[in-house]
Amino acid sequence: MKTPITGTTFPVAFTPANGAGLVFSATTTSSTQAFVAGDGSNGISGTNCGNVLFYNAGTDLVFVRVGVGSQTATNADTPIASGAYLLLSKFDATYAAVIANVSTATVYVMPGEGQF
């Protein structure tokens, strides 16, 4: 298993995509996905969509992935510890997927532009 990301510091600068707000995703031991493209679909628009910010608000470790089209997260993907943030470059990705390690967790997913 990969080492979990454990940083709890919010990114130094992060601008959410226009209309994105927070995409809420409650995860269990089954993968769930959220739309993160900035092409105007699903209310998310703007050119500031180069990244995806994840926040694990749950008490369980979660695993995340981003990609083009439908995605399924597994425990071989990038881990995020409880209470930690993760900022990923999304390139052409249109979906982000999350899965909890053992029980359930709440993960917030927000497309936008930022850096740590």
Q: State pLDDT tens for residues 94-116.
A: 889 999 998 888 898 888 887 76
Nearest to 62 by CA among 24, 21, 27, 12: 27
Q: What is the pLDDT of residue 94?
A: 85
Q: What is the pLDDT of residue 10?
A: 61
Torsion angle (degrees, nearest 10) of CA 78, 83, 85, 90? 50
Q: What is the pLDDT of residue 38?
A: 64
Which residues in the chain show pLDDT less than 70? 1-12, 18-24, 38-48, 116
For residues 79-109, b (16+ Cβ closer than 10 Å) or e, as one string?
bbbbebbbbbebeebbbbbbbbbeeebbbbb
A 10 A CB-CB count for 78 gives 16
What tokens were used for 18? Answer: 């226009």
Domains observed in the chain: 27-115 (2.60.120)
Alpha-carbon distance of 82 to 39, in angstroms, equals 31
Torsion angles phi and psi, residue 30, rounded to 5: -110, 135
Q: Is the pTM of this model over 0.85?
A: no
Q: What is the pLDDT of residue 15?
A: 76
